[in-house]
Structure 1
Amino acid sequence: MHETVPFQMRLTGDLADTHKFQGYDGYMAMAGFAWTLSLVTNYAVTGEIRHKGDFPGRRLVHARAPQAGSVLVEMVSLLTSDPVQIFGGVAAGVGAGGLLTALVSRVINQNIGDEDPNSDRILGRFMDSRGGDIEALTAMAESPIRQTLKIIGNGVEEIYVSSGFNIINSFNEETKEYVNQNVIDNVEKMGDFSISAFNVNSGHGSVFDRKIGRVVPFSMGADVLEGNKRKFSWGLDQYASGKSGKLRLKYTRLLNMDGRPKRYIVLSASRVPG
């Protein structure tokens, strides 16, 4: 199968309204956008998370020359496989294009701190089965998204990102501040959590924190991952099967400037008795 999915990035305000952009920051922004699409497209067509070497996603995202309007950047992702063959029944009924668009939207919105209920609805069972993969993709896309946002305040006031008629989001100075400003809270905390997503290779995943009423991503160092893979896999199985088993985590936090947690950094884990 072959399917193409269009993506657009429109630069507006300041210099962009004259159909121009600062050369270095402008092309770096486009490269960051292309890299984000390459990471997600590669996962959509292969089921593998790659960000190094000559992986297929690098060759499956094509760009057209920028156009006036104010500045319009168009890219196309080429999908060459049926997602059901790659991911099984959890991808049934979504379609290759729908899956990719929802994944790109989810990755972008999670990185800029926005809820994305529409993508969550579309992904449905896919999130339950592959949530850890999506958390790993989100973490990998943080750097290229930050790179894309550098142009804001440097000849561009706002960026609009879409796929066809589907609006993914807009970026402005507030978005840039959210992505760039991290507060490291090294105070060690302890809590009992359901494991809603986990990637056994990267150690990325998410937990539902009842105290704040939302899902929070987590990561861990290689040494912590090596000693706790089975515990987190057990915790994810408990969550997926509707059981009550939880993990007790010791962790520190990466916070936004307003104190909202962006990510928990896991230091240790154990099963909650009972």
Structure 2
Amino acid sequence: MKSLLLLIEGDDELRPVVKELQATPVPGTQNPFEGTLSNKTRIIAVTTGVGPEQAYRVTANAIRQFNPDYVLSAGTCGALVQGLEVSDWVVTGDVRAIGQAHQQWSTLETLRDNDETAAPRLGQALKQTPRWHQGRLVTVADEPIHCAMAKAEIATLHDAIAVDMESYGIARAAVENGLPWVVARVVVDTPALPLPDLGAMNVHTGRPPLSGIAKYVLMNPFAGPQRLHGLWSLVQTYAFHLVRILPEFTDGSRVSAPREECQLV
């Protein structure tokens, strides 16, 4: 593999990855960063912003601009089922776009990459630290899922283990360009420990409003700062492990000519 396009939701998630990669801004741009692994693989790291449509547009543009060999959806996700804990990873080549709550979480489209070895190879590169799980990830478009009952319903309806807001859009752009893709995301919330509701995230940066953060801390003066610091630390650790495993993963990825190997369900 000569080059890998790494898509991640927001600036706060991108920053530690850029630091670990020792990446530098691509000349003439503000968002994309470029780094080189020890095996000479070129890594282009780009923030997608929030939501599948935004992620699709950014990914499609980045593919046209940088012509990568491989696409990786990175960042955070939420666990839908028991057994996944905060700081565990979800690695998968099976994503499904689903409708909103008023649409009964209906299936919109399922994408599966035919390289069934990609997710296990990512997991094996982690060497059990942190723990990793392979299974379907669903992507929602409207807002994060905070309710444990909604998570349980989605998990049952779609045989899914995790949820995010970008991976379907990233995978869709990869499929349309004949590129292999995989998801490698870290769990930041579970049914028993939901994410703090900090308000609507900025669609471009992925950041919640400062007023939402301030309100959360005021309402939770003891647990609030600890929870927010825990999330910050989790993202730093995720970036370290992500960059650590990329050389082994890219060495083992056999990339052929553009192909139509992804299954659409």
Q: TM-score range by the shorter chain?
A: under 0.3
Relative to its length, the structure with more strand (as a share) is: 1
Relative to its length, the structure with more helix (as a share) is: 1
TM-score, length of structure 1 as denominator length: 0.23
TM-score, length of structure 2 as denominator length: 0.24
